Structure formats: C-alpha cells, structure tokens
C-alpha cells in the first residue's frame, strides 16, 4: 500500500535557541516515499555573524564556508518551497521545529506541516537501547553510516533510515498494513509503559476496519 511522502530534516546551527539570536548554518533533508529515500536537499547558509570555535569544531563548518554561502533568508525560501505541505520528521524534533518556525517567520512564511520526532518514538520502540541519541540508535538498528555526524544531510539521512526501520518494525511486530503519520505522532505522546498496548489496540482496529471494508465491496 503506498504511503504519503515525508520529509526528514536536520539543522546545524550557531547555538541552541533562536531566542538568543542563534540561526541555522546548514539545512539537510531527505524525502521518503514508500520506504525509500527519493530526494535530498542540502545547503549551507550565512547567519550574518561569526560562528564560534565550538560550532566549527563540532560540525566542521568553518566561518569561511558560511561567509561564502547565501544568506539564511534565501536558503530558507528555497527550503520552504521544497518541503511544501508534507509531514516533517526530525530527531529531537523540538530543536529543529524551533529553528524552522523562527526562520519561516523571518521570510513571512508559516509552517502548517505536522511533525513527528524519531527520538521520542524510539524511546517507545527501543526501550532496550543504551540511550536514544541518533548515533546510538544508528548502531542499535545496524544502520549503515560512514561515521559522519553533525552535518545536516548526513544526520537527516540517518534519521530517515531510522524512521524507515521503525515503520518496518511496527508493520512486522503488529501486522499493520500501513503506519499512518498520525500513529507515529500519537506514539510519541503516550507513556512508554502504555505503548505496546496502544499499538496492539490500533492494530486490532485497523484489521477490523479492513475486514469491514472488504465485506462492503
């Protein structure tokens, strides 16, 4: 059964919060359709001020690189057009959501896209993992990586593969014919101890709906 595309995104930024004047210096994203990455977006951007040595050392993105990049407003206009109204996914989505919404506001745009968080979903689906950082989950799920982290496209691709792994796990473990985006959103909001019962109930309701639909045709 075909599923609607989703966009998995990641920002590298000058700091932790737009409230303190921080801005993105790179955005990376992948579009997933039917369990495959089918498109990619990646651009550096110039925040308009010098970035710290800590961010340079963490990301490998230098002041020379961002100085030669287009301004945030230009990149974010292209990115907003690229994502359209598709559902969005990020690891620790609250962080990326804050920067996305702040930058969208600066270009006179707003976000209506629903958003889901792989970190919160992974806490429900992989409670046995040592922790739920992206690098740990990549190892836990045996997702291929070349070892690059804290670059936007690399992190978005790994988050995308983690999303696909979670969808596959849900379909296999609970015999789901489809995993709606709304289910992943709901999963992140319920208590970890209630996740399995919630998913089993959803699976039973989905099977009942399928049987009813089949009987009516």
Would you state the pLDDT for residue 144? Answer: 84
pLDDT in tens, 91-116: 999 999 999 999 999 999 999 999 99
Count, residues in the chain: 217
Would you state the pLDDT for residue 214? Answer: 79
pTM for the full model?
0.94
Q: CATH code at 187?
A: 3.30.420.10
Distance CA 127, CA 81 (A): 37
- Of the pLDDT bands very low, low, confident and very high (cuts 50, 70, 90), residue 212 is confident
In terms of residue numbers, what domain contains 33?
A: 6-216
How many domains is the chain partitioned into structurally?
A: 1
CA atoms within 13 A of residue 152's CA, in its CB half-sphere? 22
pLDDT in tens, 78-94: 999 999 999 999 999 99
Determine the number of helices (DSSP H) and then strands (DSSP E) in the chain.
9, 5
Alpha-helical segments (H) within 84-133: 93-106, 118-125
Q: Record the tokens describing residue 177, joined without a space.
A: 């014919």
Contacts with 195 (C-beta within 8 Å, 6 or more apart), sequence order? 124, 125, 187
Residue 178 resides in a domain:
yes
- Residues 187-214: what's their mean pLDDT? 92
If you average pLDDT over every residue of the chain, what do you get? 94
Residue 1 resides in a domain:
no
In the chain, the N- to C-terminal Cα span, in Å, equals: 18
pLDDT in tens, 7-66: 999 999 999 999 999 999 999 999 999 999 999 999 999 999 999 999 999 999 999 999
pLDDT in tens, 122-161: 999 999 999 999 999 999 999 988 777 779 999 999 999 9
Q: Which residue has the tokens 């109930």?
A: 201
Residue 73 resides in a domain:
yes
E strands, the chain, are: 6-13, 24-33, 36-44, 88-90, 115-117
Q: How does 141-178 read in b/e, with b if 16+ C-beta sit within 10 Å?
A: bebeeeeeebbbbbbbbbbbbbbbbbbeebeeebebee
Would you state the pLDDT for residue 217? Answer: 66
């Amino acid at each position: 059964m075909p599923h609607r595309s989703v966009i998995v995104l990641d920002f590298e930024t000058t700091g932790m919060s737009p409230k303190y004047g921080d801005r993105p210096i790179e955005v990376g994203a992948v579009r997933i359709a039917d369990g495959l990455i089918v498109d990619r977006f990646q651009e550096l951007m110039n925040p308009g001020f010098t970035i710290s040595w800590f961010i340079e050392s963490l990301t490998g993105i230098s002041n020379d690189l961002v100085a030669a990049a287009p301004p945030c407003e230009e990149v974010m206009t292209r990115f907003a057009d690229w994502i359209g109204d598709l559902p969005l996914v990020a690891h620790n989505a609250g962080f990326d959501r804050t920067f996305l919404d702040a930058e969208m506001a600066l270009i006179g745009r707003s976000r209506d896209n629903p958003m889901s968080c792989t970190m919160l979903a992974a806490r429900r689906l992989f409670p046995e993992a040592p922790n739920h950082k992206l690098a740990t989950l990549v190892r836990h799920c045996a997702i291929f990586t070349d070892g690059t982290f804290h670059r936007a496209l690399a992190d978005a691709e790994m988050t995308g593969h983690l999303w696909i792994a979670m969808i596959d796990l849900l379909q296999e473990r609970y015999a789901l014919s489809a995993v709606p985006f709304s289910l992943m959103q709901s999963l992140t909001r319920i208590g970890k101890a209630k996740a399995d019962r919630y998913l089993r109930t959803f699976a039973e309701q989905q099977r009942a709906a399928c049987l009813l639909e089949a009987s009516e045709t």
